[in-house]
Chain A
Amino acid sequence: MIARAGAGPRALPGWVWRWGALLAALALWEAAGQATAGRFLIAGPSEIADYLWTNAGLVGRALAVTLQAATAGFLLGNLAAMALACVALLVPRMAWLISALALLVFCLPLVATGPILRVLYGAGTGPQITLAALAVYYTTYLPLLVGLRAAPASWFDLVHTYGQGRMAELLRIRIHAAVPYLVSGLQIAAPAAFLGAMVGEFTGAERGMGVLTIRAIGALDVPGTWALATVASGVSIMSYLALGALGRRLGTHPRDLLLAPPQATRRPPAARRALGRLGRAVGLIIVVLLLWQGLMEGFGLNPFFAKRPADVWAFLVTVPEAAANRALLLGAFAQTMVLAVPGYLAGLALGAMLAAGVVLVPGLGAAVLPVAIALRSVPIVTTAPLLVLALGRGATGTITIVAVMIFFPTLVACLTGLRQTPGQVMDLFATYAAPRRQRLLLAQVPAMLPAFFAAARMAVPAALLAATTAEWLATGIGMGSLMALTASTSSYAMLWAAIVLLASTAMLAYAGVELLERRVLRVYASEQRQP
């Protein structure tokens, strides 16, 4: 530790901050509930407890249904993720394609895939389980792939000097090196599975937490909405903590932060890199179109709702109403982007700024981090109705939902990043008695940038998910509303066109942020890159 003669207040122990903050938050919440009583805004802890007490049976049964679907989706999604990661590892040439396809499926808007899955499966829990699986596999796949590669080259050389091959590499080294990454992936996956199952239930299930939530919003049942959101958050936080505890029993420290997977050390010239990127993009588009068509034909899906690439092309380009279709689609897209982009930027900025502010107070950073990590796992979208209740159906509500959705992951990533400033660099600043502000600006914030960009990359699909869900559940404008509307009026060509547009937007934005991230990493984390 660094001795700071006469510098600032004494650091309080972490638990004082944590419990103090928790009690203060509860008291504030209750007070807010009392103050706004009768205005259909906020239900305090006492009202929530009352609701849960009187409706214990109802909520309990719904929770059991949703948990069952979420667990099934969690298992299926993670098995798929592990299989995908192993394939990507064993066939390195295909790794980029597998990763890109995995990302694409992750970027599909749940709001549109939900209704389509509903018509595919009919009644039952099929859509919930599928959406839960879709919500988790990417957040497991990505860390797992990084983890499987995160061992120093000398360890593999050791295996090779005994004449062993790739299988021994995998069994003796890679699997062990990947465990902490897998645990952190699973930790994020557990709340995501719950979120996926709830969104699946929004699309017309008979039972479950999602159904109750939709009903409570419809009936302007404020205590009910709050109670359900609280239960959903509690379950998510608990699943997160339980998996973390499991990871610690396994003797690992989950990685709170994942930078972009490193690329080849020898970089080809810029022109060839750009060409390679273009080639991959074209290859990806061809593969996606083939897969799309192939899956539809292979399963013999009804062309009425299972549209093919040609149908979407016709809908947007060749039919007589194509211009009107495009105008409707792009109009809704613009409405969504106008809200999603400011929300995305605001969430990132607030997360980074709060993280930077928190480290200025001694002891506070270490205390805030676990709270932020726990809150990161709250499925914000399930609390979207509350924010809409509080902020209204205008632009502010949607922007806030997007911002809140992104805020916590960013805060966690930035706090972790700030802590990664090398100790000797901080010592250097101490030998000049540099003030805290200077340490922050010259050493800690630059050291935080890689983490910030990693968060910004993962936040892209999250921002679109949050915006469209808010539009669907509450505001009635934009892509979310358009998709919900077209699903209920059976204009499936528009729905598929919306999926194509949103997924490609998410992919492009993700790729753009990743490009930025790699540039930043080259300069700002050149010494602390993972092998």
Chain B
Amino acid sequence: MLPDALPPPDVCCLGLAKTFGSGPTATEALRPLDLTFAAGQTTALLGPSGCGKSTLLRLVAGLEAPSAGHVTIGGNSPAQVCARAGLAMAFQDASLLPWRTVRGNIALALTLARQPADPALVERLIALVGLDGFGDRRPAELSGGMRQRVAIARCLAAEPRLLLLDEPFGAVDELTRLRLNFDLPRLWEKRGTTTILVTHSVTEAVLLSDRVLVFSPRPASVVADIAVSLPRPRNRDVMATPAFRDLVDQASAALWAGSLAGPLAAE
């Protein structure tokens, strides 16, 4: 672990826009967007498939160059933050290297982050995501849920202050997904990270976050900004409360209303 734990950064998007291609075939993925993600908060981006929320996440990670506007993470550019291993991203599929073991995949993050190898840390992370005894297995031998947990452990290894989660539980069955939703936030809540989560599950968005941003269909714009002030840890009891159901209804309604404004409404 790093001796000088930095505070989590805020993320500012100013006039951020992204268009793929050019000319008549150009696709406007993101309209100019002003957004601020508060330091230390978990924000869920909720929207229909293909609305551009993943593009927004990739812009924040510096994986795409914006067509207009810019992103700052704690005042720095994404490239600067990447170079200091200040952020980590979890992808839609676990994206583990099939030739590395669970241990090797988690340790990879330390290598890439130019941090010294730390076998003890790797073991702690394996235990943290509940994969004791699986350290020497290769991804092909694991279930989908286990692979996602390895991916999350890899994300946490280099102690990033910004976590970007792109539908990390999309390919996991409902029950496993719920368990991951209950268990995994504890891992990063304690560390004080800013987290941005892309999902199209309304329940997951409310369950995991402090704030839900609902997007319209492409090109994305924010149609609702919902604060979620439910107690933590979030578990089945929290899910049973009227407040939780209210928030889910609110987000669903916004999602539905937003989709009516989109191209499907013309049909």
Question: Which residue of A has the minimal Cβ distance to B140?
Answer: A526
Minimum CB–CB distance for A449 against chain B, Å: 8
User: Does A275 lie at the interface of the complex (its beta carbon under 8 Å from any beta carbon of B)?
Assistant: no
- List the B side residues contacting A3 at CB < 8 Å: 62-65, 79
Q: CB distance A424 to B64 under 8 Å?
A: no
How far apart are the CA atoms of A527 and B96 in the complex, in Å?
Answer: 10
- Contact pick for A431, options B77, B89, B97, CB 8 Å: B89
User: Does A80 lie at the interface of the complex (its beta carbon under 8 Å from any beta carbon of B)?
Assistant: no
Q: CB distance A427 to B111 under 8 Å?
A: no
Looking at chain B's contact residues, the main secondary structure is loop
- Contact pick for A430, options B82, B108, B109, B111, CB 8 Å: B82
- List the A side residues contacting B109 at CB < 8 Å: 432
- Binary contact readout A387-430 vs B (1 if CB under 8 angstroms, 0 otherwise): 00000000000000000000000000000000000101101111
* Contacts known (A427-B91, A526-B139); A433 close to B99, Cβ less than 8 A: no
User: Does B83 lie at the interface of the complex (its beta carbon under 8 Å from any beta carbon of A)?
Assistant: yes
Q: CB distance B95 to A424 under 8 Å?
A: yes
User: Does B106 lie at the interface of the complex (its beta carbon under 8 Å from any beta carbon of A)?
Assistant: no
| Residues of chain A from 428 to 442 with CB closer than 8 A to chain B in the complex | 428-434, 438, 442
Q: CB distance A429 to B138 under 8 Å?
A: no
How far apart are the CA atoms of A424 and B167 in the complex, in Å?
Answer: 13
User: Does A305 lie at the interface of the complex (its beta carbon under 8 Å from any beta carbon of B)?
Assistant: no
Interface residues on chain B, number (Cβ under 8 Å):
31
Say which size band chain A's interface belongs to: 20 to 34
User: Does A525 lie at the interface of the complex (its beta carbon under 8 Å from any beta carbon of B)?
Assistant: yes
Q: CB distance A430 to B63 under 8 Å?
A: yes
Minimum CB–CB distance for A359 against chain B, Å: 17
* Total CB contacts across the A-B interface at under 8 A: 76
Among the interface residues A429, A438, A527, which one has the most CB atoms of the partner chain B within 10 A? A527
- List the A side residues contacting B82 at CB < 8 Å: 430-433
Q: CB distance A5 to B79 under 8 Å?
A: yes
Minimum CB–CB distance for B60 against chain A, Å: 10
How far apart are the CA atoms of A508 and B35 in the complex, in Å?
Answer: 64
Question: Which residue of A has the minimal Cβ distance to B164?
Answer: A431
Q: CB distance A432 to B95 under 8 Å?
A: no
Minimum CB–CB distance for B89 against chain A, Å: 5
How far apart are the CA atoms of A422 and B112 in the complex, in Å?
Answer: 17
User: Does A167 lie at the interface of the complex (its beta carbon under 8 Å from any beta carbon of B)?
Assistant: no
- Binary contact readout B221-255 vs A (1 if CB under 8 angstroms, 0 otherwise): 00000000000000000000000000000000000
- List the B side residues contacting A446 at CB < 8 Å: 97, 99
B interface residues, Cβ below 8 angstroms from A: 58, 61-65, 77, 79, 82-83, 85, 87-89, 91-93, 95, 97-99, 108-109, 111-113, 138-140, 158, 164
Using A428-B89, A432-B109 as known contacts, list a sample of 13 further A-B pairs with CB atoms less than 8 Å apart, ordered by residue number in A: A2-B64, A5-B77, A424-B92, A427-B61, A427-B91, A428-B112, A430-B62, A431-B89, A433-B82, A442-B111, A443-B97, A523-B138, A527-B139
Pairs of residues from A and B, 5 with the lowest C-beta to C-beta distance, nearest first: A526-B140, A3-B65, A432-B112, A5-B79, A433-B82
